[in-house]
Amino acid sequence: MRWDVSGLKDHPRYAAAVESALEREPGIREVHANPVTGRLLLRFDRGLTRIAIEAKLRAALSSPPLAQEAYRRWQAQRAAAREARHGGEHRGHEGHEHGDVSVQVRNLVLGGSVLLGLGVKRLAFGAGALASNPIIGGVNIAATLISGYSFLKGWWRSIAGQTGMNTDTLVGSATIASLLLRENVTALTVLWLLNLGEYLQALTLKRTERAIRDLLEVPDEEIWQVVGEQEVRRPAAELQPGDMIAVYAGKRIPVDGAIVEGQGTINEAPITGESMPVMKMSGDTVYAGTVLLSGGLRARVERVGSDTAVGRLIQRVEQARELQAPIHTVGEEFSRRFVPASFALSIVVLALTGDATRALTMLLIACPCAAGLATPTAVSAAIGNGARRGVLIKGGTHLEAAARLDAIVFDKTGTLTQGIPTVQRVLSLVDDYTAEQVLSLAATGELHSQHPLALAVVGHAEERELVVQPHDVCEILVGRGMRADWRNNVVLVGNRRLMQQFDIAVSAEAEALYAKHAAEGETEMYVAHQGRLIGLIGVRDKVRPDVASSLAQLRREGVRRLAMLTGDLEESARAVAGVVGITEWRAQLLPEQKYEWIQQLKAAGLRVAMVGDGINDAPALALADVGIAMGTAGSDVAVEAADIALAADDIAGVVTTLRLSRQALKVIRQNYGVALGVNAGGLMIGAMGALNPFIAAVLHNLSTILVVLNSARLIGYEPKRPASASAAAARSGRPTRGGARPAPGAQDGERRAPRPARGAAASIP
């Protein structure tokens, strides 16, 4: 169970106190108070009621003196939620989100407007003119205090001992010292850049929550509900467990349920990750979010809304965000180590000299604004560089985390592969038909089918510029294939069951070829013409270009472990792993099992990235230290749950991300080195008794300029691209297209065969 508790946000000490108080309560199994999101996550015994849990929560929130303000806010929030249930749709929570973003927009507009005005003033009247104007000075100070309120509030909390030393302490100290020494423009510039970063992060979180809400909404506005002997069109949102629904080809299934009548071919890739559609019939389970490609069925509703499989995936995403440990950035490390010493130094100077100006000057030297700009300028330059290359990084913490990765885990379907079936081979099994004739006849038979395998066959024939004759009559035989009549010719394209249904003789040689290629991860289709088996077509999910060379580059970059986790069949997983050179893989995993594998890797001390594209990858993407989503092929929820999106759907973007993030981290450390150099220079000058506000201002602005120039180098940084797939293939002797290279796909055309238990694996114990 989760609660939004306003007092938790940005309040780690209070969060720890709440956790400590609740952990002692009987019946509470697990407590996570997250100061980043302001949410409380509880796990408790089934015997506890919600009323009892809320009573324990009230007691915990009201017990420490530190919690009084948060308790009052919490009570107001609960009252607003009760009012919203009667008079609106959760306006309080959404309004809170909107308010946060609105405040950041206000800060950006205010700070940017004042900076623009100061720039225009300097161009129009010169640098010195109006410098002592009290109105301009007052506006500048007011803009600095208003736009920097959140940072100054964090600075005060750290000074008061409510939190530890952090970047707010550094920024606040530099801002206060700058204002007192009349370095107003520098302080306002730093705050504007920091507010820009905060705004982008808040906007990303808002978009993520919106995508989650959109996913949980029933996708089809209306559904056919079976009432007695009739089918009645009803809003899908009104469905309840026990209702009966009818679903027809091309429609999305809105609920979890069991088929009681009919059959159909269903695309379950969003939930299971399987690359090929599966055949479902009476007694089988169907899931919300999947699509019925062909056939028709009636199903009894078992779960709706957040109780469905896709709803549980979203709960996993939220849980991962709650459990995600905060990333300790270089700026935080710098603040923890040097800010306390800086304050101590200023106090010593004040005590020895009694000169407040000299003490403030020492504080400005020890906490230069260059340190406040060290990370934002480098991060902005690196994010801009990545965006030009199709690597969309959502924030500086994710950039720094990517630089420290030890392990990268890849999804298969849609990530390492394109997620689109393509024809791998066309074989003629008789002497009087060529492979081109087999393909042309198969395309004629499949011409009006929307099944992914049919689209692959027709598309391949069109690419080869073969003649595809329009058929006169066609029949979709669900779970078996297609039958088409063309000028008194009968064409059959499908699996073994289709051949058996029409008494087509299949030789032992054809059976052996079928079994061999299916074991390599292909989906095989027999082609028969005029009652005679004439050919065999193999289809697979094509591996993305440059995957093998990109993975080799990642190994050379020092990534210790590369693994593949997929919900697809073992044959497909083995084939893809062999092509791309991954030895550590696991197949037929449910989304929860992918999530658990990421947990285990993190528990082993590894810093893990997850690369995926589907809804089923979203929990693992959210839990990983760095989540990377395929931007174009990826689902909205996967992209929003991830920290980085690859707009070009190119695995080489992972290499670019790693190199760019490491270069950015190197530049950030150099920037802090410049700040430390200013410290050292200022201290030496101070030791000689020559330090004054003018020299402090010179050193202060010099360090700021050096930091900005150093960060600007990232704008033109060129990460090396991985070698091309064709070059890698030439070195290894493997063909780049066609041939007998194994590649992914579904098990075979007969998808009603019993499946092995989920969790088939290789190399991963």
25 and 108 both lie in a single domain: no
Give the C-alpha separation, 51 to 42, whole Å.
14
pLDDT of 68 higher than 60 = no
Clarify whether 411 is annotated catalytic: yes
Does 67 map to a domain?
Answer: yes
Average pLDDT, the chain: 75
What's the confidence (pLDDT) of residue 168? 73
The per-residue pLDDT for 645 is: 82
Tell me the H-state helices in 181-247: 184-216
Least trusted range by pLDDT, from 199-213, 299-313, 624-638:
199-213
Report whether 661 contacts 400 (CB < 8 A). yes
Structure tokens at 722: 């991985």
Least trusted range by pLDDT, from 73-87, 433-447, 450-464 = 73-87
Residues 493 and 559 placed together within one structural domain of the fold: no
Task: Specify the 3-state DSSP secondary structure of 506.
Answer: coil
Q: How many angstroms separate the CA atoms of 511 and 438, rounded?
A: 17
Q: What is the pLDDT of residue 611?
A: 94
Rounded to an integer, the average pLDDT of 606-634 is 83
Question: If pLDDT is split at 50, 70 and 90, which confidence band does 562 have?
Answer: very high
Q: Which residue has the higher pLDDT, 511 or 127?
A: 511
For the ranges 352-356, 581-585, 611-615, 710-714, the one whose mean pLDDT is highest: 581-585
What one-character-per-residue DSSP string does 741-760 give?
------S-S-TTSPPPPS--
Residue 32 reports pLDDT greater than 90: no
Of 411, 568, 643, 649, catalytic: 411
Element (H, E) at 98: helix 91-125
Are 498 and 519 found together in one domain? yes
Q: What is the pLDDT of residue 759?
A: 43
Per-residue pLDDT of 651-664, as tens digits, reads 889 999 999 999 99
Whether residue 664 lies inside any domain: the answer is: no
Band of pLDDT at residue 90, cut at 50, 70 and 90: very low
Counting the structural domains of the chain, the total is: 4
Please indicate, yes or no, if residue 622 is contained in any of the structural domains: yes
**538 and 425, same structural domain?**
yes
Token match 């041939």: residue?
739
Are the CB atoms for 63 and 38 separated by under 8 Å?
no
Question: Domain check: are 153 and 163 in the same one?
Answer: yes
Q: What CATH number does the domain containing 577 carry?
A: 3.40.50.1000
Q: What is the mean pLDDT of residues 287-291?
A: 85
Q: Which of 82, 111, 138 is the last residue of a domain?
A: 82
Contact 746, 266 (CB under 8 A): no
439 and 409 in a single domain? The answer is no
- CATH number for the domain including 49? 3.30.70
Do residues 28 and 59 lie in contact, with contact meaning Cβ atoms separated by under 8 Å? no
95 lies in some domain: no
Query: What is residue 471's predicted lDDT score, i.e. its pLDDT?
Result: 76
151 or 494, higher pLDDT: 494
Strand partners, 263: 296
Is residue 648 assigned to a domain?
yes
Residue 21 tokens read as 């108080």
| Mean of pLDDT values over 265-291 | 80
Of 542, 568, 595, which closes a domain?
542
What's the pLDDT at 197?
A: 57
Pick the last residue of a domain from 214, 231, 266: 214
Reply yes or no on whether the pLDDT at 113 is more than 90: no
Q: Give pLDDT, residue 410.
A: 95
Question: Is pLDDT at 535 greater than 90 in this prediction?
Answer: yes
Q: What is the pLDDT of residue 644?
A: 87
Q: Is residue 449 scored above 90 in pLDDT?
A: no
For the entire predicted model, the pTM comes to 0.62
pLDDT score at 204: 47
Q: What whole-number distance in Å separates Cα of residue 633 and Cα of residue 613? A: 6
pLDDT at 62: 56
By percentage, how much of the chain surpasses pLDDT 70?
Answer: 66
CATH code assigned at 434: 3.40.1110.10
**Pair (570, 427) in one structural domain:** no
pLDDT band at 735 (very low <50, low <70, confident <90, very high): very low
pLDDT at 36 over 70: no
Are 405 and 468 in the same domain?
no
Confidence of residue 700 (pLDDT cuts 50, 70, 90): low
Higher pLDDT, 134 or 406: 406
Same domain for 407 and 422, yes or no, is: no
pLDDT-derived band of residue 96, with 50, 70 and 90 as boundaries?
Answer: very low
101 vs 291, higher pLDDT: 291
Residue-level pLDDT at 584: 93
Least Cα distance to 407 among 561, 555, 552 occurs for 561
Query: Does residue 299 sit within a domain?
Result: no
What band does 565 get if pLDDT is binned at 50, 70 and 90?
very high
427 and 392 within one domain: no
**Residue ranges making up the domain that contains 489:** 418-542
**What does the pLDDT average to over 596-603?**
91
Dihedral sign (CA 587, 593, 595, 600): negative
Q: Residue 734's pLDDT is what? A: 38
Task: Indicate if 407 and 473 belong to the same structural domain.
Answer: no
Range in 255-259, 373-377, 578-582, 711-715 the model is least confident about: 373-377
Q: Rounded mean pLDDT of 24-45? A: 70
Residue 119 has pLDDT above 70, yes or no: yes
Task: Give the DSSP H/E element, type plus range, for residue 563.
Answer: strand 561-565
Residue 464 and residue 533 in one domain: yes
Asked if residue 117 is part of any domain, the answer here is yes
Whether the pLDDT of residue 375 is over 50: the answer is yes
* CA distance linking residue 362 with residue 358, whole number of Å: 6
**Over the range 345-355, which residues count as b (16 or more CB within 10 Å of their CB) and which as e?**
bbeebbeeeee
pLDDT on residue 257 = 92
Separation CA 275–CA 264 (nearest Å): 17
Query: Would you say residue 613 has pLDDT above 80?
Result: yes
Please compute the mean of the pLDDT values over residues 454-482 and round it to a whole number: 85
Q: Are 292 and 264 in contact (CB under 8 A)?
A: yes
* Residue 536: per-residue pLDDT: 95
- Banded pLDDT at 632 (limits 50, 70, 90): low
- With beta carbons less than 8 A apart as the criterion, state whether 35 and 26 touch: no
Between 58-67, 521-530, 658-667, 696-705, the lowest mean confidence (pLDDT) is in 58-67
Domain assignment present for residue 54? The answer is yes
CA angle 480, 481, 487 (to 5 degrees): 140
